[in-house]
């Protein structure tokens, strides 16, 4: 598996609490996979895919599935049984992802996968994942429509009750796009874009009012409030 590296050179597999989505606050082990099929202008993990700005050899490491699973098990403390595969875009590595997820589930872990919603999971991957955290990208991400729009993939996730839609909001203009996606309202979380507590607080204020009107759930970036932009958190 192509895994990103932390500044100290270690694979970016780390234990913390889930800072976003419906599992907010749940103690988890994160596995950050490298590579992405989109190029979001506000991406806070661009080192996982933007090889024009970052050195791929320095920022990534190839690990076997067994090594990834063993590292997760080493980091899991008493009571920690949630694993989150994030990125980058994890579904670019479906074969290895499915193998790792299945091994972890057999070992008693619950598996979440964070994805941009442009790739349809295959059968093996779908059978090994407990929760999908889907983040379809809007125009404010800077991606062309033909790159970020995948109706067949979105329809696949909409049909599964274990998929939740985490929408990153930069401005109020983004909300019109959400309505056009026809997502299940009860599974939509709107989350302010931002990598510092001040920006997140400002955007959360007007988003809270919109959530009250529209019936969306307000999402947070708890890890940013606690640790800022520190990696491995």
* 152 in any annotated domain: yes
Distances (CA, A) of 142 to 34, 139, 164, 167, 199: 20, 6, 23, 15, 19
CATH of residue 81's domain is: 3.20.20.70
Reference 8, options 80, 59, 51; nearest CA is 59
- Which pTM value belongs to this model? 0.93
Q: What local confidence, expressed as pLDDT, does residue 137 receive?
A: 96
Instruction: Categorize the per-residue pLDDT at 78 as very low, low, confident or very high, splitting at 50, 70 and 90.
Output: confident
Mean pLDDT of 29-58: 96
* 103 in any annotated domain: yes
* 231 in any annotated domain: no
* 49 in any annotated domain: yes
Mean pLDDT computed over every residue of the chain? 94
Q: What local confidence, expressed as pLDDT, does residue 112 receive?
A: 98
Instruction: Categorize the per-residue pLDDT at 160 as very low, low, confident or very high, splitting at 50, 70 and 90.
Output: very high
Which residue segment(s) compose the domain that 14 sits in? 2-168
Q: What local confidence, expressed as pLDDT, does residue 83 receive?
A: 98
* 211 in any annotated domain: no
Q: What local confidence, expressed as pLDDT, does residue 172 receive?
A: 86
Q: What does the block give as tokens for 229?
A: 């932009």
Q: What local confidence, expressed as pLDDT, does residue 194 receive?
A: 86
Instruction: Categorize the per-residue pLDDT at 117 as very low, low, confident or very high, splitting at 50, 70 and 90.
Output: very high
Can you list the alpha helix ranges (DSSP code H) found in the chain? 56-59, 65-75, 94-106, 123-128, 145-148, 151-158, 174-180, 197-214, 222-227
Q: What local confidence, expressed as pLDDT, does residue 211 receive?
A: 92
Mean pLDDT of 10-19: 95
Q: How many Å apart are CA 131 and CA 162, to the nearest integer? A: 5
CB 167 within 8 Å of CB 188: yes
Instruction: Categorize the per-residue pLDDT at 230 as very low, low, confident or very high, splitting at 50, 70 and 90.
Output: confident
* 194 in any annotated domain: no
- Domain count for the chain, please give it: 1
More confident residue, 227 or 90: 90
Number of CB atoms found within 10 A of residue 36's CB:
20
* 70 in any annotated domain: yes
* 217 in any annotated domain: no
């Amino acid at each position: 598996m192509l895994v990103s590296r932390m500044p100290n050179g270690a694979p970016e597999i780390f234990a913390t609490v889930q800072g976003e989505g419906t599992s907010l606050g749940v103690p988890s082990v994160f596995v950050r996979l490298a590579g992405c099929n989109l190029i979001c202008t506000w991406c806070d993990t661009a080192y996982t895919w933007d090889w024009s700005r970052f050195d791929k050899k320095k920022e990534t490491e190839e690990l076997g599935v067994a090594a990834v699973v063993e590292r997760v098990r080493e980091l899991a403390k008493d009571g920690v049984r949630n694993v989150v595969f994030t990125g980058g875009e994890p579904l670019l590595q479906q074969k290895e992802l499915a193998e790792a997820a299945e091994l972890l589930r057999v070992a008693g872990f619950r598996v979440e996968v964070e994805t941009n919603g442009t790739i349809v999971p295959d059968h093996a991957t779908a059978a090994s994942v407990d929760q999908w955290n889907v983040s379809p990208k809007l125009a404010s991400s800077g991606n062309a429509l033909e790159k970020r729009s995948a109706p067949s993939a979105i329809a696949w996730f909409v049909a599964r009750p274990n998929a939740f839609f985490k929408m990153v909001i930069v401005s109020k203009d983004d909300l019109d796009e959400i309505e056009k996606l026809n997502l299940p309202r009860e599974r939509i979380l709107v989350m302010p874009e931002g990598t510092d507590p001040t920006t997140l607080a400002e955007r959360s204020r007007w988003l809270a009012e919109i959530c009250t009107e529209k019936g969306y759930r307000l999402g947070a970036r708890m890890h940013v409030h606690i640790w800022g932009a520190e990696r491995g958190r």
